[in-house]
C-alpha cells in the first residue's frame, strides 16, 4: 500500500501531543465525578482506583502500539492489523459509538457547566429542562456546522486550554486538601455510606469514563514528530496526570463536608454532587464550596470546564469522521466515508451521518428524564470497554505475529510464552489489563439495563451493515482483504523519520526463520 500526497503532515510536538490527548481525556473527570460519587458513594475512591489500574494498563498498551505503528487509525488499525478485517470493524465501530457519544455527552455537560449557580442558574431549573436540551442541541449543531466548514481548533488552542485546566484542577485540589479535607470524615463516609455490590460495580463501569480518550493520542501518531520518542513520553505523562486527578478528586469529595440543606442538616458532599440536578456540574460546585477561594472559583471553573468540554465535544465530531475515513481506507466501510467536499476539503457526508447518530442519542437520552446522563454514560462505557478489550488482544497477538516490528517501548513485566511452536514475550500487565477491562465490560452489561440492550444493538447493527457492504463488494465478511503490511510499515517508518527503526525492521525481516 503506497503512500500518497494526501498523508498527514508530521508537525505535532511532545507538548502538542500531550495537549491533544488532554483536550479529550482531561474533560472526562468533569463528566464522571458526579455520576460515580452519586452511585458508588463511600466506595467512589475504590471505583476510581480499580478503573485507574486498568487505565494504566490500557495506557501502556496504547503507548507500545502507537510507538510501534505510528499511523492514524488508533485501536481500529491495531485490531485490523492483528485480528483481521471483521474484528477491526468491530473495534472501529465501538470507537465510533464513543465518538458519537462524545458529541452528545460533552455537549450536554458543556451546557451543564454554563448553568452553574454563578453563570446561568435558571437554565438548570427542572421547569426549564426543555430549554436546557435545546441548548445542548444548539451546541452539537454548531460544532457540526464548523466541522463541515473545515474550522478546527488548532493544536495551539489545545495547548493553552490544557495548560490552564491542569493549573486550575491542581489549584482546586491543593486548596481542597489544605483548607477543607478531613481524613477522619473520609473514613467515616466510607464506613457509613458503603454501596451495594450492584452499585459498586456500576460505579466502576462509570469510573472508566474518566480515562477514555487515549485513542486521541494514537490517532495523532501519523502527525507526530519522531513518534518513537514522543509517544511514550506523552502517554506516560497523560496517564499519570489523569490518574492523579481522578484518585485525588474522589478522595477529596469523600473527605469534605457538604452544604447545609433546607432542613438545616448537612448534606453529604457525594450525595450533593451526585444528584441529578448537580451531577452535570460537579467540579464547579465542588470548587465553589472551598473556603477562601470558593467565591472566585465559582465564576472561573464553570467557564474553564465548559470550554474544555466544548473542545472535547468538537473532537467527537472530528474524531468520528477521522476514524470512519480510516475504516473506509481499509475497506471496512464504503468509500462514501472517504469523500471530501471540493471546496472545504472536509468529509461532509461522514460528519453529517455521525452527527445525526449523536442527535438520535440525544433524543433518546432526553426521553430518559433524570437518567439521561446515566443513559449516555452506559453507552460510553460499553464502547470504551469493548474497543479496549480488543486492543489488548491485538497487542498480545502482534507480539507473536509481527515480531520483526521494532518496539521502542515495551509494556513491562514480560515472560516468554509458546503458542503453536512460536515463542514471544507476553506482558503480565497486558493480561491483567485484558482481564480488568473485560470485567468492566461485563459489569456494564450486568448493571445497566439500558446499556446492555443499546450497546450490543449498536454492534449487531454494525455487523449487519458490514456484512451487506462486504457482500455487495464481493469481499469476505469474516476474512480479510489482502494487504502488503510489510510495505505499509516500511513506508510509515520512513515517513516518520524513524530510519533507525526502519533499518532494524528490514534486518529482522532478512533473518532466516
The secondary structure of 455-499 as a DSSP string is: HHHHHHHHHHHHHHHHHHTT--SSS-----HHHHHHHHHHHTT-H
* Mean local confidence (pLDDT), 47-76: 88
* Residue 224, SS3 per DSSP: strand
CB 367 within 8 A of CB 75: no
Rounded to an integer, what distance in angstroms lies between the CA atom of residue 135 and that of residue 279? Answer: 18
What the block records as the C-alpha cell of 129 is 429542562
pLDDT surpasses 90 at 399: yes
Quote the percentage of the chain above a pLDDT of 70.
91
CATH fold group of domain 14-506: Amino acid/polyamine transporter I (1.20.1740)
Q: How far is CA 440 from the centre of its chain?
A: 15
Give me the DSSP letters along 369-382.
GGGHHHHHHHHHHH
Look up residue 118 and give its three cell numbers.
Answer: 454563578
* Res 10: pLDDT: 44
**CB neighbours (10 Å) of residue 510?**
8
Instruction: Supply the pLDDT for residue 121.
Output: 87
Identify the H or E element spanning 416. Answer: strand 414-419
124: Cα separation from own chain's centroid: 27
**pLDDT greater at residue 262 or residue 199:** 199
**pLDDT category, 218, cuts 50, 70, 90?**
low
| Burial grade of 206 (CB within 10 A; 0-12, 13-18, 19 or more) | buried
> Could you give the 3-state DSSP secondary structure of residue 266?
strand
Taking the domains of the chain in order of start, what are their residue ranges? Answer: 14-506
Give me the chain's average pLDDT, please: 86
365-369, 373-377, 378-382, 447-451: least confident range: 447-451
| pLDDT at 125 (0 to 100) | 81
159: left (phi over 0), alpha (psi -120 to 50) or beta: alpha
Q: Which helix (H) or strand (E) holds 418?
A: strand 414-419
Stated as kind and residue range, the H or E segment containing 415 is strand 414-419
| Residue of 120, 47, 130, 117 lying closest to 372 (CA atoms) | 130
Banded pLDDT at 220 (limits 50, 70, 90): low
Using alpha carbons, list the distances in angstroms from residue 93 to 85, 299, 464, 486: 12, 39, 12, 26
State which H helix or E strand residue 426 sits in: strand 422-427
Q: Which residues have CB under 8 Å from 405's CB, separation 6+? A: 68, 69, 398, 489, 505, 508
For the stretch 436-491, pLDDT in tens is 999 999 988 888 877 788 889 999 999 999 999 999 999 999 999 999 999 999 98
Q: Which three cell numbers stand for residue 285?
A: 460546585
Residue 333 is given by DSSP the state S
Residue 391: band (very low, low, confident or very high) from pLDDT cuts 50, 70, 90: very high
For 437, residues 6+ apart whose C-beta sits below 8 A from its C-beta are 54, 57, 58, 208, 385, 388, 389, 392
Name residues whose C-beta falls within 8 Å of residue 376's C-beta, 6 or more positions apart in sequence. 101, 104, 105, 108, 361, 365
What pTM does this model have?
A: 0.89
Amino acid at each position: 500500500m503506497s503512500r500518497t500526497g494526501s498523508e498527514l503532515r508530521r508537525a505535532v510536538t511532545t507538548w502538542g501531543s500531550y495537549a491533544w490527548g488532554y483536550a479529550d481525556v482531561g474533560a472526562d473527570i468533569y463528566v464522571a465525578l458526579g455520576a460515580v460519587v452519586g452511585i458508588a458513594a463511600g466506595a467512589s475512591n475504590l471505583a476510581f482506583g480499580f478503573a485507574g489500574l486498568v487505565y494504566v494498563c490500557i495506557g501502556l498498551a496504547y503507548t507500545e502500539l502507537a510507538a510501534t505503528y505510528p499511523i492514524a487509525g488508533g485501536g481500529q488499525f491495531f485490531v485490523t492489523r492483528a485480528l483481521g478485517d471483521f474484528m477491526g470493524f468491530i473495534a472501529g465501530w465501538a470507537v465510533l459509538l464513543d465518538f458519537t457519544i462524545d458529541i452528545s455527552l460533552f455537549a450536554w455537560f458543556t451546557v451543564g457547566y454554563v448553568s452553574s449557580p454563578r453563570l446561568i442558574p435558571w437554565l438548570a431549573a427542572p421547569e426549564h429542562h426543555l430549554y436546557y436540551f435545546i441548548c445542548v442541541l444548539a451546541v452539537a449543531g454548531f460544532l457540526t456546522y464548523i466541522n463541515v466548514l473545515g474550522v478546527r481548533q488548532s493544536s495551539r488552542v489545545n495547548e493553552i486550554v490544557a495548560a490552564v485546566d491542569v493549573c486550575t484542577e491542581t489549584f482546586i485540589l491543593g486548596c481542597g486538601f489544605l483548607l477543607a479535607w478531613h481524613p477522619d470524615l473520609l473514613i467515616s463516609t466510607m464506613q457509613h455510606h458503603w454501596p451495594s455490590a450492584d452499585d459498586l460495580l456500576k460505579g466502576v463501569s462509570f469510573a472508566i469514563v474518566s480515562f477514555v480518550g487515549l485513542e486521541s493520542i494514537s490517532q495523532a501518531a501519523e502527525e507526530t514528530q519522531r513518534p518513537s520518542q514522543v509517544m511514550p513520553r506523552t502517554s506516560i505523562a497523560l496517564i499519570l496526570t489523569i490518574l492523579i486527578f481522578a484518585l485525588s478528586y474522589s478522595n477529596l469529595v469523600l473527605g469534605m463536608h457538604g452544604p447545609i440543606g433546607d432542613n438545616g442538616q448537612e448534606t453529604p458532599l457525594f450525595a450533593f454532587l451526585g444528584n441529578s440536578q448537580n451531577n452535570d456540574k460537579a467540579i464547579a460546585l465542588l470548587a465553589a464550596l472551598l473556603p477562601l477561594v470558593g467565591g472566585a472559583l465559582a465564576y472561573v471553573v464553570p467557564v474553564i470546564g465548559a470550554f474544555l468540554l466544548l473542545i472535547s465535544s468538537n473532537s467527537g465530531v472530528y474524531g468520528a469522521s477521522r476514524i470512519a475515513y480510516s475504516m473506509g481506507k481499509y475497506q471496512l466501510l464504503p468509500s462514501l466515508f472517504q469523500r471530501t467536499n471540493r471546496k472545504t476539503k472536509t468529509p461532509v457526508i461522514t460528519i453529517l451521518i455521525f452527527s445525526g447518530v449523536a442527535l438520535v442519542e440525544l433524543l433518546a437520552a432526553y426521553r430518559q428524564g433524570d437518567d439521561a446522563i446515566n443513559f449516555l454514560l452506559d453507552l460510553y462505557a460499553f464502547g470504551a470497554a469493548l474497543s479496549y478489550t480488543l486492543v489488548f488482544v491485538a497487542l498480545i497477538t502482534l507480539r507473536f505475529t509481527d515480531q520483526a516490528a521494532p518496539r521502542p517501548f515495551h509494556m513491562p513485566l514480560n515472560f516468554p510464552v509458546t503458542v503453536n511452536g512460536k515463542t514471544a514475550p507476553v506482558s503480565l500487565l497486558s493480561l491483567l489489563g485484558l482481564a480488568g477491562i473485560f470485567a468492566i465490560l461485563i459489569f456494564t452489561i450486568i448493571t445497566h439495563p439500558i446499556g446492555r440492550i443499546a450497546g450490543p444493538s449498536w454492534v449487531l447493527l454494525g455487523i449487519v451493515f458490514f456484512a451487506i457492504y462486504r457482500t455487495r463488494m464481493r469481499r469476505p465478511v469474516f476474512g480479510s482483504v489482502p494487504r502488503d503490511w510489510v510495505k505499509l510499515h516500511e513506508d510509515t517508518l520512513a515517513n516518520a523519520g524513524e530510519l533507525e527503526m526502519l533499518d532494524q525492521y528490514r534486518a529482522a525481516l532478512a533473518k532466516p526463520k
